[in-house]
Amino acid sequence: MDFLPTLWFIIIAFFWTGYLFLEGFDLGVGMLMRGFARNNTDRRVLLNTVGPVWDGNEVWLITAGAATFAAFPHWYASLFAGLYLPLVLVLLALIFRAVAIEYRGKHDSARWRSTWDWAIALGSFVAAFGVGAMLALTTTGLPLDANGDRVGGPFAWFNGYAVLGGLAVVLFCLVHAAAFLVLKTDGDIRARARRLLLRWLPVALLPMALWAMLVVLAGGKPITWVTLTVAAFGAAAAWLLARRERDGLSFAGLGIFLVAGTTTIFTAVFPNVLPSSLDPAFSLTVENASSSDYTLGVMSVIGAFGIPAVLVYQGYTYWVFRKRVSAESIPAAHAVVPQ
């Protein structure tokens, strides 16, 4: 097995894990804008918890896609062509969500705010479900022929694995957001977020656990049972620590669950990058889908500087905006008259 293609498979898996961890809680916060938030002040508190970081979190999605395009062009071509419809829906959902976050406070009207609140909630849901469906199909297979082309109509991708992956990411985002709000808010919202976390965490993590177990049973390796056990330990620790109000450690427990879970899934499918559900011989692997060693070598040099820089910068951003947000820190809504 060539070193550079394997290295970039690991890096892309890292990018997707980072995206699910960071974007996960702000997609969850977006979904909680309706239902969990009771009034405009609650919704403004929720938006202020992710306001400084949500757009930076989306960079991980762009980076994962760009790295796939450069390192594994055949994987990128088959994946994006085979999942063209859900990817367009995800893109539109992210656009509407971003516009809604920026436009929500531009006019002092209950109807105006309600419209954009629904756009944030629905956009977050569609984006989370679509990303989950895409990742599930990436690890369980698409109907690909010998040329790497999808066989079937525009909905050939829609199956039980897509639904399972979509639900897994949606539910994970919701409990991840609850754990994040416990860390980032104070007062009534924090208390309700903790109740939400304790009530739903054991159930919400089951679809992702089932997804990982199915992939392991289909073609896992001995090490994947170890990482699957670590993921279960992280989930149990997150719930127990949340009961003891060890909020930071509980959030870290969810992180352990996610990292161990995605490690399990990507390790189980390796060396495949996109399995074919028609014939295993048609599957794309790290060897037959990768770019040349020269391209991967140049990317490795750039990544050696770029990836640590991004991690340091984002870590600094979270440190700067680490303070809690509460209803008392939200000023009253008012109209701004241009001068």
pLDDT in tens, 243-281: 999 999 999 999 999 999 999 999 999 999 999 888 888
- 3-state SS of the chain is CCHHHHHHHHHHHHHHHHHHHHHHHHHHHHHCCCCCCCCHHHHHHHHHHHCCCHHHHHHHHHHHHHHHHHHCHHHHHHHHHHCHHHHHHHHHHHHHHHHHHHHHHHCCCHHHHHHHHHHHHHHHHHHHHHHHHHHHHHHHCECECCCCCECCCCCCCCCHHHHHHHHHHHHHHHHHHHHHHHHHECCHHHHHHHHHHHHHHHHHCHHHHHHHHHHHHHHCCHHHHHHHHHHHHHHHHHHHHHHCCCHHHHHHHHHHHHHHHHHHHHHHHCCEEECECCCHHHCEECCCCCCCHHHHHHHHHHHHHHHHHHHHHHHHHHHHCCCCECHHHCCCCCCCCCC
Quote the pLDDT of residue 329: 74
Q: Which two tokens stand for residue 247?
A: 């909020």
Quote the pLDDT of residue 157: 87
Confidence band of 8 (pLDDT split at 50, 70, 90): very high
User: What value does the mean pLDDT take over residues 273-294?
Assistant: 90
Confidence band of 1 (pLDDT split at 50, 70, 90): low
pLDDT at 27 over 90: yes
The better pLDDT of the pair 272, 105 is held by: 272
User: What average pLDDT does the structure give for the chain?
Assistant: 91
In percent, the amount of the chain with pLDDT more than 90 equals 71
User: What value does the mean pLDDT take over residues 270-295?
Assistant: 91
Quote the pLDDT of residue 117: 93
The CA distances from residue 160 to 82, 244, 297, in Å, are 16, 37, 38
pLDDT tens digits for 167-211? 999 999 999 999 999 999 988 899 999 999 999 999 999 999 999
The listed range with the strongest mean pLDDT (170-179, 279-288, 328-337) is 170-179
Identity of the residue numbered 55:
D
pLDDT tens digits for 122-179? 999 999 999 999 999 999 989 988 888 888 888 888 899 999 999 999 999 999 999 9
pLDDT tens digits for 46-85? 999 998 888 889 889 999 999 999 999 999 999 988 899 9
β-pairing verdict for 272-274 and 284-285: antiparallel
